[in-house]
Amino acid sequence: MTKKAKNNRESQAREKSRSSTSQLFNFAQNSYLERTSRPIYAIWFLLPFIVFYEIGTILINTDVLNQSQTRVVAFVWLRQSLESIGFGGKLAWMAPPFVVVAILVGLQIASLKRWSFDVRDVLSMAAECIALAVPLIVLILFLNSLGSPQNDAGQFTSGSAQVQSRFGAGPGEVVALISARNGGGTANRLLEDIITGIGAGIYEELVFRLILICLLMAIFQDVLRLPHKSSIILSVFISAALFSAHHHIVFLDGHLGRITDFNWTSFSFRTMAGIYFAILFAIRGFGITAGTHAFYDIIAAILNVFFFSER
């Protein structure tokens, strides 16, 4: 093989790497599927969601920077991790959104993909996320139809685990409760559920898909030397089970706390949803996966308030 031919093959391999959108598939270079799987697309697509979540959380929790606050558990984990490495209290509250963006920028650099962004793709991405959320809506309706009186049949399972915690309390003291309603009418309840659902879409996908699956893959494949296929299967199922379990039991400030009572309908649904999100993440990347999670929570919140509200 001549040097010129070898260089051409290496150039083609680099182009193929750049067009690779995921761990599983390579899509045609610069196609919609390839473009929207790039980390740069995840940044611009999710940025309005991140801003809405941060501003909305402050508006519904006016003392969010003081002694008590209602937050998605995954956000709290990220905030506490930042505090453990030296970030101050208020800075740790402001830093998580920048951490999300920084991670995605790092992935964009490592991927060697193009940095171009076509704003016209945003509406298509939103439509895709809504369409991908529909199977989860159908699934929870089916599972609830099989539920016993002990299950929350007739009510959509929220995709977000929330805590109302007093981090200024004494050492080791943690209050982990289902988020209390702030009072007011249907509009306030709907707004709170939408805000927390959007936060769950971003931060739970960051923790349980982008971080946890990559960490588990490194352990199983690089440390334990398991086959690649076995590593993927174990990583997906373990991350899905932990994703489901953390909606019931949460670890904060060195202690375990219960968020909601356990029932098999909710646990089974969230485990299957975790597997679904993991597969989606492997095929379509972080932006579409987080968007799908957020839109499922938004749709579920709307349906719960207007069709399945507690009587």
Condensed to tens digits (0 to 9), the pLDDT of residues 113-156 reads: 899 999 999 999 999 999 999 999 999 888 888 764 333 434 45
Q: Does residue 5 form part of some domain?
A: no
Neighbours of 119 (CB within 10 A): 8
In a domain, 311, yes or no: no
Instruction: State yes or no: pLDDT of 104 exceeds 80.
Output: yes
Q: How many domains does the chain have?
A: 1
Whether residue 3 is contained in a domain is answered as: no
**Top-ranked range on mean pLDDT: pick from 17-21, 177-181, 246-250:** 246-250
Residue 179 belongs to some domain of the structure: yes
Q: What pLDDT is recorded for position 46?
A: 96
Structural domain containing residue 253: 28-306
Residue 291, classed as helix, strand or coil, is helix
| Residue 265 falls inside a structural domain | yes
pLDDT of residue 174: 26
Whether 131 is in a domain gets the answer: yes
Q: 183 falls in which pLDDT band (50, 70, 90)?
A: very low
Per-residue pLDDT tens digits for 68-93: 345 677 777 677 777 777 776 667 66
E strands of the chain, at which residues? 69-72, 162-165, 249-252, 255-258
How high is the pLDDT of residue 306?
81
According to DSSP, residue 170 is labeled: S
- Contact between 43 and 302 under an 8 Å Cβ cutoff? The reply is no
Tokens (6 digits) for 281: 């993440």
Mean pLDDT (the chain, rounded): 76
Whole-model pTM: value is 0.78
